[in-house]
Amino acid sequence: MEGFDPDAVLSKLTTAEKIDLLSGIDFWHTKSIPRLGVPSIRFSDGPNGVRGTRFFNGSPAACFPCGTALGATWNRDLLEQAGMLMGHEAIAKGAHVLLGPTVNMQRGPLGGRAFESFSEDPVLAGSCAAAVIRGIQDTHVVATIKHFVANDQEHERMAVNSLVTQRALREIYLLPFQIAVRDSKPGAFMTSYNKVNGTHVSEDPKFLKDILRGEWGWKGLIMSDWYGTYSTADAVNAGMDLEMPGPSRWRGQLITHSLMSKKISPHTLDLRVHEILNLVNRVSKTGILENAPEGSRDIPETAELLRSISGESIVLLKNDNKVLPFNKTKTVAIIGPNAKMAAYCGGGSASLLPYYAITPFDGISAKTESIKYSVGCYSHQLLPLLGPKLRTSDGRVGVTFKAFTEPATVTERVPVDTVHLVDTNMYLVDYYHPKLTDDLYWAEVEGFYTPDEDGDYEFGLTVFGTGKLYLDDEMLIDNETVQRSGGSFFNVGTVEETGIKNLKAGIAYKIKVQFASGVTSKLTDADGVVSFGGGGIRIGGTRVIDPDEEIKKAVQLAKDVDQVVLCVGLNQDWEQEGHDRPNMDLPGRTDDLISAVAEANPNTVVVLQSGTPVSMPWINKISGLVQAWYGGNETGNAIADVLFGDVNPSAKLPLSFPVHVEDNPTFLNYRSERGRVLYGEDIYIGYRFYEASRRATLFPFGYGLSYTTFKLSQLAISYSGKILNVKLQVENSGEVDGSEVIQVYVKQRAPSVKRPVKELKAFRKIPVAAGNSTTVDIPIEGRYATSFWDEGRDMWITEKDTYDVLVGNSSSHTPLIASFEIDETVWWSGL
């Protein structure tokens, strides 16, 4: 793909060609203009890996740890490496533009998509985003920072009006985007679905023209979120360049009509087209051909970096009596519903098909042979996917998918397509076959299930469309006659309908699903959803267990071993795009299991996988706690590395963990109420709220333990008027090499408005060998360290006052304090 002169091309385009460039041609591609040498370019999700062009039967990819895990590393250099790997993955997938990173704020603990984001703090979030973007764009792939702005919940996300003060917008919600623009210059922005203060962001010139392109001086392309365009002239005039996906709903002939009626001027049309041409020309440097084939980079170097990132993201939250690291020569019980399940990513557009996924059981088993296992309890929301446990008629792992142009009632119908699949979560949004020319089509999915033991087995069928599941040709589940909305498939699918059958071990039972595409869906009550079309089929199943008996088995197992690891948490069924969590609780009988096992063995360590905080009523009963997030392909290996001390944990929490959901600052203002949500906590998000209200947290922002100890001393600061320089000594006073995160907070002593107790302004991760010490210098731009947003002047203000610098290793532990003076009040704007 060759570059071109955007100005020259623009001068030669016809009006019709210009209009064609303003929207995608399909889910992932822009319009080409062959006569002028303008190729089509490809976009791809997402924030934690590069899926490619297909949800359905996609190419395997490298799955990175989720956003909160990346934030927990507090390591810009490592995140830059991660971004570079994402860029190389994009090139392998033939994608010129990557739709990430996500830099929205962690307002509260219940956001369905919050696991994609980095932090509750704008400085940490913006710094992480900038590092990832620099890495991506070093490969010439363009990064798309999203979702601009205040897209912090899933409930009625396309309709909700986020009511936010100007000060909170600037200090909390816009600031991470501002930092990313300052430090990395992302090539593209994606607008959010929601309104802010009455206007959808995709058609609000205040955000797109005045702030982003005007005040910040940013240059690049602005695209909509998928189906996040709601107008023609308003969006074009506001500065939204590209409507995605295609075919267009709001442009095309509507642009022609707007030009004719002078609602859009030719000059404005040219501005929008020019940004698209600039982007297409820019990504020509990737060398990716138009409509390139999708490949992979499943190489040892990829696995090594993913394992390093995942290991450095794991936070050690509790380690009483030095229960960790485990001894490899002692016996270990692995207990819990997440032990043999690789919870490698959250759900929605962040999900992808991984090259592989290491479970905690596999990772731990590779470290020691003295292993015993019990599931303990179930914690799934949807039954575990059946695909890996099924076999096709010719013995391959998985199922056979057949597509038809006629329903099952037509005898002797012939499939137009036959596909072998391992994954039985089939989102058909991008399924295509040339003989399927209508939105209405039918499918059949077939596989054989052989139980390991006698007993009752439960099967589940979830659809976007209609379907029935048959066991040996006997209908077991009817998800067609009556349907119930369940939030699946981006909130347009059904609940999981289930059926139970007693099966015998060793017998192969035929599982068959008869399905009709999405247009046959009978659901009418899904609120604020994005229907991406096509359809969806999800087939799950597992043996029915007696919860009380399973917990008893786990307790007995725990009594018989030296060390216990409890693998628990959430997965992409609980944390996913489309809906928020209703509470912070762990699912099912998880809390009962943890309490019972902890009482049976004092050397019990909980490995918790979730993208956001959960309740922990058992916290005082366990000896060890490890927060492992969703760790990507190398999830299980990274967990085992930390448990056995091959990796010394160095991660810190990028968000506060409240004791109860009621304690969090958004509790009374989290969800859409008649189409609006009040950001009532204002600037007091996360630790800012807990400190101002003196409300205890379960674990504070910035907190994390190590297998060694660190001492911070000799704080010295200097302020030149432009740069605040922070200098201190960091000593590793323990016996293990490790890394410490130095966190620098600033407090204004006598502000003219209420300000947080202190605010994070800089950080640095420093490796220090055991017994050694090092000097750390952390320069901070003075105005970013001291300013708040003056709503009276609509500018940043640094007031004449005394400022304290507080340095430590968490928001709750800042023992080093020094101060400096500012002699004159000044206002400023821009970057």
* Catalytic center residues: 225
**DSSP letter, residue 594:** H
- Please work out, in degrees rounded to the nearest 5, the angle formed at the alpha carbon of residue 65 by the alpha carbons of 64 and 69: 150
Residues 266 and 729: their CA atoms lie apart, in Å, by: 61
- From the list 123, 152, 131, the residue with the least C-alpha distance to 811 is 123
- From the list 669, 663, 756, 831, the residue with the least C-alpha distance to 152 is 669
- Count of CB atoms situated within 10 Å of the CB of 804: 16
Dihedral class, residue 99 (left if φ above 0, else alpha if ψ from -120 to 50, else beta): beta
Q: Helix, strand or coil for residue 736?
A: coil
Residues 485 and 654: their CA atoms lie apart, in Å, by: 34
Q: Does the N-terminal peptide bond of residue 101 adopt cis geometry, omega within 30 degrees of 0?
A: yes
Residue 242 token pair? 């590209």
Residue 330 token pair? 């002692």
Residues 78 and 132: their CA atoms lie apart, in Å, by: 9
- Count of CB atoms situated within 10 Å of the CB of 479: 27
Sign of CA dihedral 783, 788, 792, 795: positive
**DSSP letter, residue 744:** E
Residues 718 and 305: their CA atoms lie apart, in Å, by: 38
668-701: string of b/e by CB count within 10 Å (b at 16+)?
ebbebeeeebebbbbbbbbbbbbbbeeeebbbbb
Residues 479 and 498: their CA atoms lie apart, in Å, by: 9
Cα dihedral angle (279, 282, 286, 288), rounded to 10 degrees?
50
Residue identified by tokens 């998918």 is 401
Give the containing element (helix H, strand E) for 78. helix 76-92
Residues 795 and 828: their CA atoms lie apart, in Å, by: 6
Distances (CA, A) of 162 to 193, 200, 529: 11, 10, 17
* Cα 345 from chain centroid (whole Å): 8
* Cα 721 from chain centroid (whole Å): 39
Distances (CA, A) of 385 to 149, 268, 342, 388, 446: 35, 50, 12, 8, 14
Residues 374 and 593: their CA atoms lie apart, in Å, by: 11
Q: Does the N-terminal peptide bond of residue 34 adopt cis geometry, omega within 30 degrees of 0?
A: no
**DSSP letter, residue 386:** -
